[in-house]
Structure formats: C-alpha cells, structure tokens
Amino acid sequence: MIAFEGSSTGMKFVAAGLTDVGRERDHNEDTFLVDEALGLFLVADGMGGHRAGEVASAIARDTVHELIRDGSASSRLDALDQAIRRANQRVVKEGQANRAHKGMGTTIVALITDGDALGIAHAGDSRCYRFRDGALQRMTRDHSLIEELGGDDPAVMAALASYSNVITRALGTAPDTAPDVRRETVKSGDLFVLCSDGLCGPVDDAAMQRLLAEGGSLDEICRRLVTEANERGGPDNISVVVLRAES
C-alpha cells in the first residue's frame, strides 16, 4: 500500500494483477508489474515472432521499473515518460542486435503515483480505464489505425475490420517512439484498470462496467475479468492490473 507523498488527502492505493495465456495462444507475451511501495503499475503486450514479444515486454517492464526505482527526477510523470522512452531505445537496440528478435515490439500502459493524482502513460492499444461512482470511463486512446482514422464510428470500424490489429505506435518500432502522458486527480473509491487488448477486445465497456460493479477483492475482480475474456473466446493473451484509491 502506497501513500501519496506530500498529499493532504491521505490517499492510498492497493493493487492486484493477473495474466493468462488465453484460449488460442500457446505462450504468453504479456507481462505486468505491481509495485505498491514504489507507486508504479503497468501492463505490456509484446509482439514479434519466435517468442520475441515476451522479450520486448519484459525489457519494457524491467527498464521502467529500474529507472523509476533508481531515478531522481523531480516530477514523477516526467520520470515515467523518460523511463518509457528509454525502454523503447532498449527494445530497438535488442531488435537490431539479435536477429531472432528483429521486428519485436510491445505496447505499454502505466500508472505512477504523483502527489494527489496519478500519472498515466501509454503507447499502443493497451488501455487504462477508471471506474468511478458506478460509471466506466476510458482514460487512453488507442494508437491504432481504426481509432486514428475514425475512432468509434461504426462505418469506419466496419470498413477497417480486417485491419483491427494494426498498431500505429509501440515500443521498439522506431527510435523516437514516445508515450502519451497525462495527470489525473483521484478520489477515494476510484478503481483504475490497466489491461492488454486480450481483455478489452472481447470484453466490451458495458460488460467491464458490470463486472467491476460486482465489487469484491481486487484479486477477485482480476479473476472475474480474465474469466470473462476467456468465456468470450480468449483469442489473445489476457493481462490486467486493478488499483483502488482509498482514503
């Protein structure tokens, strides 16, 4: 459990995470991190042949963790931004140095405690949601062909159905890849969900809102969400981290 440093609200976070291979893949290229003491939480969804995706996601996870743990930046959100940029450089370097890892990459979505708020950073189509007062809100916009050309417009989505998995930004794909970052204040009782597209693909927002509203422990919520994704086909690896703000 982490208390926000310098916060007058006394806000704390508790968190849990879970990953699952799903029903159609033979190995898991996702990873996640929950470090309550550091106030750092992330999900990364790797991609690439010969299991290179799991290498890319692990490099991203470990690099961000290392640089936040050992860094001294005055701004927590700036530190997260810089750590993800550095993770991108390491994934690119590994892809260039090792032929078996050529072309690998990973999405990332991360939260970091920042005073009386959370810093949110992401690259790719792994998402952050907030569940507040019974309502679910998506806090990130996918870096994907569909969302960049038309968002949730049904006509655009139908026309681009065969390109639904095309990602326009991910770590490892270009030397200068950077995350989108934002800062959000929190209130007691807020739930934040980080997930790979193996969860938010098959489980739509209405179903996710219903499952979160059922309550229970954070471990139970994670299991419930993963189970739902598998019951809807489990077409991809499934990873989720759930945080709760408590006063």
- Give 2-246's CATH code, choosing from 1.10.10.10, 3.60.40.10, 3.30.310.50, 3.40.50.2300: 3.60.40.10
Residue-wise pLDDT for 49-92, tens only, equals 778 999 999 999 999 999 999 987 779 999 999 999 999 999 99
The sign of the CA dihedral 131, 132, 133, 136 is negative
Q: What share of the chain is helix, strand, coil (3-state, %, to 5)?
A: 35, 30, 35
Tell me the C-alpha distance between 67 and 73, whole Å. Answer: 10
- pLDDT score, position 87: 98
Residue-wise pLDDT for 133-184, tens only, equals 999 999 999 998 877 776 566 676 666 666 667 889 999 999 999 999 999 9
Biggest distance spanned by C-alpha atoms of the chain? 51
How much is the pTM? 0.92
Tell me the C-alpha distance between 11 and 13, whole Å. Answer: 7
Domain boundaries, the chain: 2-246
- pLDDT score, position 166: 83
Q: Hey, what are 190's tokens?
A: 């807020």
Which distant-in-sequence residues (6+ apart) come within 8 Å of 180 by Cβ? 121, 122, 123, 140, 141, 143
